[in-house]
């Protein structure tokens, strides 16, 4: 099974099927509405990109949300100035994020460890603060950058007159709201997965892992590590830029709060939760966090009363009181607790938990003995 | 000239807060080797100690006075805080001075919280990578923050300084520089307070035997342990001390900035920058960098400077951090071999 899975076309095919069928298999979980599905795909891209830097190369960036923000702003500007077609928007989002990545990475990568984290944090906070204050002509400050009726949109105007209302983002005529938007993001996710997989299996990826385990030794063997780390940084920034521009594609609005350091913290969390340095871990982490964010924050006391209705009166009020701490407004508390538990007990994230389970079953013998010999040689 | 002096003063109280938080961070890092992202939450908890204390003191007794009628024909409510009806003069004194008096409550509370936190959580992370430490304490900070938000709400809760220092000091007249320099008393108090705390922490480390052992432990905890000293226990106490320092910084800051649940995080990010600029593991560096960045920030918010470099006040701290880290790899006063893998 595992050897079959490692074959390129098969892996890609299986992955594509799983992603494109998301509206189907998420239905029983109550998560099959397009808004949430789009977020699943977008944040999976974000976390995957972050993982290339943190998981493979070992640099913990605390300012990755800056690229997300830059991507969003660039995409919205492309909508405003040129056309509502999403392809140029994505191109600009990725390109600008890449440029920012080159600049910030060139400076920040001179230091490693916590110094690197602080430098990236400093740059991201600078972007955030400037977006709120001085750069208001570009970012529209607190209101956030939006489409208006006065936008030039020169390419669109060359072909057709401006319509009455605000136009929708589209891909050659297909509106990018609802399910088409999700499928577009899903295709992007599949492409990103393909790229990430190639990076993981390439000599370049091996080099990055070498840098993670011991940068000095890599230096001694004659590799200049800086170009490798910088490339990883830029790639991961471009992934974030892509995610940011997709956010703008599904909802053409960009605000500075996307760049705040809490947003950077969130992507770190997703990656840790899923499993640092694994291929699909960060994606799983992103899904779980976005899922819980949607589900938990929509709970209120009435739903809790319903859920605990099988308990006797006194116990029920107690259960509702305690659990109401964790849902609705307080879902961040759940997030924090979950986060701590993962870091304390399962530092490798969900993927490590999965491996442990596999090992237990394969070690336990008995009924699973047929699969065990297949799994072990592949390790 | 007046404006410059005023900005200098402005920077002192903010710098004092940065310095106190950064001092605690550095103490923890220097002794336990743990990067504590929950330190800002301790600052916030301190502030909420003051809030709780004030709330307890101002619990009111409601007496209905039937002889006086309000415009609606109901009896007038006369509200007196219990503490005033019990202790009279002393009660109203306590109520007025609730912020400084709450220090007495805060010290044991924060010491306890710090020690519980160290024994319960941080202890298990001594030998884990720094990234794990950052992440778990970050999670803890979120948890503390959300609990506070649940009980106190999301809005800032203003706290009043004692009446006697409520107004502004005419500093100019005091030093014979004209009447233009007027400055709130409480901010001066805060600066004096933070300077006192910093001085006493240094004195504790420098002039007591306990402090000497701690300093020795910071250099080489293994050797100290071999000499038969339970260095771990002392480090736990130091963690508690750092929590107390952060808590006190929070208590006294409440009249300047009404506390809300995310004030800790706001200060933590800046304080981390301060620690790194000062040099990881260097106590004087942390204090120096704290005051330096506080003062620089207030200078950058002068209109004259803002008109030349728009937006500079928003980014000055980060800008300075970037420049210092790139030119001085270990920060201002960092020691060799700290945090360098």
Report domain extents, chain B.
2-327
Question: Do residues B296 and B317 make contact, with C-beta atoms less than 8 angstroms apart?
Answer: yes
Is residue B138 pLDDT above 90, yes or no?
no
Q: What is the pLDDT of residue B2?
A: 73
A171-179 average pLDDT score: 77
Residue A27, SS3 per DSSP: helix
A237-256 average pLDDT score: 89
Note the pLDDT tens digit of each residue in B151-180.
888 888 888 877 777 777 776 666 666 666
Is residue A367 pLDDT above 60, yes or no?
no
Average pLDDT over all residues of chain B: 83
Of A125, A130, A337, the CB nearest to B269: A125
Instruction: Assign A325 a pLDDT band (cuts: 50, 70, 90).
Output: confident
Neighbour-count burial for A106-141, b at 16+ CB within 10 Å, e otherwise? ebbbebbbbbbbbbbbbbbbbbbbbbbbbbeeebbb
Is residue A72 pLDDT above 70, yes or no?
yes
Task: Give the length of chain B.
Answer: 341
Chain A positions in Cβ-Cβ contact with residue B121 (cut-off 8 Å): 344
Of B142, B318, B340, the CB nearest to A125: B318
Tell which residue, A291, A294, A301, A293, has the closest CA to residue A323. A301
Q: What is the pLDDT of residue A48?
A: 92
Average pLDDT over all residues of chain A: 82
Element spanning B146, H or E: helix B130-152
- Search chain B and give the residue with CA nearest A112: B340
A199-204 average pLDDT score: 90
B288-299 average pLDDT score: 89
Question: Do residues B145 and B260 make contact, with C-beta atoms less than 8 angstroms apart?
Answer: no
B76-101 average pLDDT score: 77
Tell which residue, A140, A23, A152, has the closest CA to residue A72. A140
Lowest mean pLDDT among B35-39, B230-234, B271-275, B313-317: B313-317
Q: What is the pLDDT of residue B178?
A: 65
Question: Do residues A213 and A207 make contact, with C-beta atoms less than 8 angstroms apart?
Answer: no
Task: Looking at the complex, report in whole angstroms how far the Cα of residue B325 sits from the nearest Cα belonging to chain A.
Answer: 8
Is residue A244 pLDDT above 90, yes or no?
yes
B75-96 average pLDDT score: 75
Q: What is the pLDDT of residue A327?
A: 72
Is residue B340 pLDDT above 60, yes or no?
no
Q: What is the pLDDT of residue A378?
A: 32
Note the pLDDT tens digit of each residue in A22-68.
888 877 777 778 888 888 999 999 999 999 999 888 888 888 999 99
B39-60 average pLDDT score: 88
Of A130, A132, A340, the CB nearest to B139: A340
B178 at interface of A, judged by CB pairs closer than 8 A: no
A294-305 average pLDDT score: 74
Q: What is the pLDDT of residue A363?
A: 67
Beta strands at A174-175 and A145-146: parallel, antiparallel or unpaired: unpaired
Q: Which residues neighbour B127 within 8 Å (Cβ) at sequence distance 6 or greater?
A: none
DSSP string of A111-147, one letter each residue: S-HHHHHHHHHHHHHHHHHHHHTTTHHHH-GGG-EE-
Beta strands at A253-254 and A170-171: parallel, antiparallel or unpaired: unpaired
Among the ranges A11-20, B79-88, B136-145, B191-200, which has the highest mean pLDDT value? B191-200
Q: What is the pLDDT of residue B341?
A: 46
Chain B positions in Cβ-Cβ contact with residue A123 (cut-off 8 Å): 318, 322
ipTM reported for the complex, 2 dp: 0.76
A151-162 average pLDDT score: 75
Q: Which residues neighbour A286 within 8 Å (Cβ) at sequence distance 6 or greater?
A: A40, A43, A44, A46, A47, A270, A274
Q: Which residues neighbour B240 within 8 Å (Cβ) at sequence distance 6 or greater?
A: B110, B111, B112, B114, B115, B118
């Amino acid at each position: 099974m595992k050897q079959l899975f490692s074959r390129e076309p098969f892996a890609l095919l299986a992955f594509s099927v799983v992603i494109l069928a998301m509206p189907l298999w998420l239905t029983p979980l109550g998560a099959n509405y397009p808004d949430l599905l789009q977020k699943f795909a977008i944040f999976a891209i974000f976390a995957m990109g972050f993982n290339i830097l943190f998981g493979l190369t070992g640099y913990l960036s605390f300012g990755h949300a800056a690229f997300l923000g830059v991507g969003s702003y660039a995409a919205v500007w492309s909508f405003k100035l040129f056309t509502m077609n999403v392809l140029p928007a994505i191109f600009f989002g990725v390109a600008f994020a890449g440029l920012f990545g080159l600049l910030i990475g060139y400076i920040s990568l001179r230091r490693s460890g916590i110094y690197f984290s602080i430098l990236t944090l400093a740059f991201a906070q600078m972007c955030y603060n400037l977006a709120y204050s001085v750069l208001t002509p570009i970012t529209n400050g607190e209101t956030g950058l939006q489409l208006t009726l006065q936008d030039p949109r020169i390419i669109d105007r060359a072909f057709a007159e401006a319509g009455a209302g605000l136009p929708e983002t589209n891909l050659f005529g297909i509106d990018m709201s609802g399910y088409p938007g999700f499928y577009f993001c899903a295709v992007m996710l599949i492409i990103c997965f393909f790229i990430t997989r190639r990076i993981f299996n390439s000599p370049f990826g091996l080099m990055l892992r070498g840098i993670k385990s011991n940068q000095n030794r890599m230096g001694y063997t004659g590799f200049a590590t800086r170009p490798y780390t910088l490339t990883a940084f830029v790639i991961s920034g471009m992934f974030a830029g892509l995610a940011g521009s997709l956010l703008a594609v599904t909802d053409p609005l960009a605000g500075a709060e996307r760049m705040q350091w809490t947003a950077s913290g969130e992507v770190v969390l997703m990656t840790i939760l899923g499993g640092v340095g694994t291929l699909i871990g960060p994606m799983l982490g992103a899904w779980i966090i976005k899922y819980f964010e949607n589900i938990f924050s929509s709970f209120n006391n009435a739903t809790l009363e319903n859920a605990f209705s099988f308990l006797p009166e006194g116990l029920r009020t107690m259960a509702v009181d305690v659990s109401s701490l964790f849902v609705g407004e307080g879902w961040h508390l759940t997030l924090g607790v979950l986060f701590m538990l993962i870091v304390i007990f399962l530092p490798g994230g969900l993927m490590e938990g999965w491996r442990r389970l596999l090992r237990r079953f394969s070690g336990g013998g008995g009924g699973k003995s047929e699969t065990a010999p297949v799994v072990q040689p592949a390790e | 000239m007046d404006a410059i002096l005023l900005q200098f003063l402005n920077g002192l109280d903010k710098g004092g807060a940065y310095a106190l938080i950064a001092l605690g961070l550095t103490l923890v890092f220097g002794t336990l080797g743990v990067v504590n992202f929950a330190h800002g939450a301790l600052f916030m908890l301190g502030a909420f100690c003051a809030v709780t204390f004030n709330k307890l003191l101002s619990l009111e007794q409601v007496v209905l006075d039937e002889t006086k009628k309000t415009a609606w024909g109901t009896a007038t409510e006369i509200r007196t805080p219990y503490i005033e009806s019990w202790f009279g003069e002393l009660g109203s004194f306590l109520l007025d001075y609730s912020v400084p008096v709450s220090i007495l409550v805060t010290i044991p509370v924060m010491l306890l919280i710090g020690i519980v936190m160290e024994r319960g959580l941080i202890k298990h992370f001594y030998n884990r990578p720094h990234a794990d430490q950052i992440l778990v304490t970050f999670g803890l900070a979120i948890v503390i923050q959300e609990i506070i938000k649940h009980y106190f709400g999301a809005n800032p809760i203003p706290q009043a300084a004692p009446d006697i220092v409520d107004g502004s000091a005419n500093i100019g007249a005091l030093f014979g520089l004209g009447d233009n320099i007027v400055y709130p008393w409480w901010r001066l108090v805060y600066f004096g307070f933070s300077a006192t705390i910093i001085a006493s922490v240094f004195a504790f480390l420098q002039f007591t035997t306990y402090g000497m052992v701690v300093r020795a432990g910071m250099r080489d905890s293994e050797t100290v342990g071999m000499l038969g000293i339970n260095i771990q226990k002392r480090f736990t106490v130091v963690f508690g001390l750092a929590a107390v320092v952060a808590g006190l910084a929070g208590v006294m800051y409440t009249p300047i900035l009404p506390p809300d649940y995310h004030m800790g995080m706001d200060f933590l990010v800046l304080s981390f920058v301060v620690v790194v600029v000062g040099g990881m593991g260097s106590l004087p560096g942390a204090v120096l960098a704290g005051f330096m960045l506080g003062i620089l920030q207030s200078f950058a918010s002068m209109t004259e400077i803002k008109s030349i470099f728009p937006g500079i006040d928003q980014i000055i701290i980060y800008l300075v951090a970037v420049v210092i880290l790139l030119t001085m790899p270990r920060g201002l006063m960092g020691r060799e071999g700290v945090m360098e893998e």
